[in-house]
Chain A
Amino acid sequence: MAEPPATPRFEDALAELEGLVQRLEKGELPLEESLAAFERGIALVRSLGQRLAEVEQRVEVLLKSEAGKLVLRPFENDEE
Chain B
Amino acid sequence: MLRAEPAPRVLTVTQLAALVRETLEGGVGRVWVAGEISNLRPAPSGHVYFTLKDEQSQLGAVLFRSVAQVLAFRPADGMEVLVSARVGLYPPRGALQLYVDTMEPRGLGALQLAFEQLKARLGAEGLFAAGRKRPLPRFPRAVGIVTALGGAVIHDMRTVLRRRWPACRIVVRPVRVQGAGAGREVAAGIEDLNRLGGLDVLIVGRGGGSLEDLWAFNEEVAARAIAASALPVVSAVGHEVDFTIADFVADARAPTPTAAAALVVPDREEVTAGLVRAEAALRRALARRVVAARERVAGLERALGDPARRVRDLGQRIDDLAARVRRGLLRRLAWERREVMTLATRLARSGPAPGLPRARERMAAAGERLRFALAVRVRHARGTVEQAAGRLDALSPLACLERGYAIVRRGDSTGPVVRDADTLAAGDPVALVFARGRARARVEGTEPEKEP
Interface residues in chain A, defined as those with a beta carbon under 8 Å from any beta carbon in chain B: 1-3, 5, 9-11, 14, 17-18, 20-21, 24-25, 27, 29, 31, 34-35, 38, 41-42, 45, 48-49, 51-52, 54-64, 70, 72, 75, 77, 79
Contacts and interface: CB of A to CB of B under 8 A. Distances in A.
Interface stretch (B22-30, B236-244, B270-278): B270-278
A25 B281 contact: yes
A52 to B, nearest CB: 5
Given A48-B275, A72-B171, A59 B158 contact: yes
A35 B197 contact: no
Contact of B282 (A31, A41, A56, A62): A41
Contacts of A45: 275, 278-279, 282
B409 interface: no
Contacts of A38: 282-283, 285-286
25 contacts: A5-B141, A10-B139, A10-B141, A14-B138, A18-B278, A21-B278, A21-B281, A21-B282, A25-B284, A25-B285, A31-B290, A38-B286, A51-B167, A52-B167, A52-B271, A54-B166, A56-B166, A57-B161, A57-B166, A57-B170, A60-B170, A62-B172, A63-B174, A70-B195, A79-B155
Given A24-B286, A38-B282, A57 B162 contact: yes
B200 to A, nearest CB: 9
Given A1-B196, A75-B172, A77-B149, A41 B272 contact: no
A61 B171 contact: yes
Nearest to A41: B282
Contacts of B282: 20-21, 24, 38, 41-42, 45
Contacts of B343: none
Interface of B: 137-139, 141, 144, 149-150, 155, 158, 161-162, 166-174, 192-193, 195-198, 268, 271-272, 275, 278-279, 281-286, 288-290, 292-293
B270 to A, nearest CB: 10
A64 to B, nearest CB: 7
Contacts of B193: 62
Contacts of B268: 52
A49 B272 contact: yes
Given A54-B166, A56-B167, A59-B172, A3 B198 contact: yes
Contact of A52 (B170, B196, B275): B275
Contacts of B292: 27
Contacts of B137: 11
Contact of A35 (B155, B174, B192, B286): B286
A39 B163 CA distance: 31
B266 to A, nearest CB: 9
B139 A14 contact: yes
A21 to B, nearest CB: 5
A46 B103 CA distance: 66
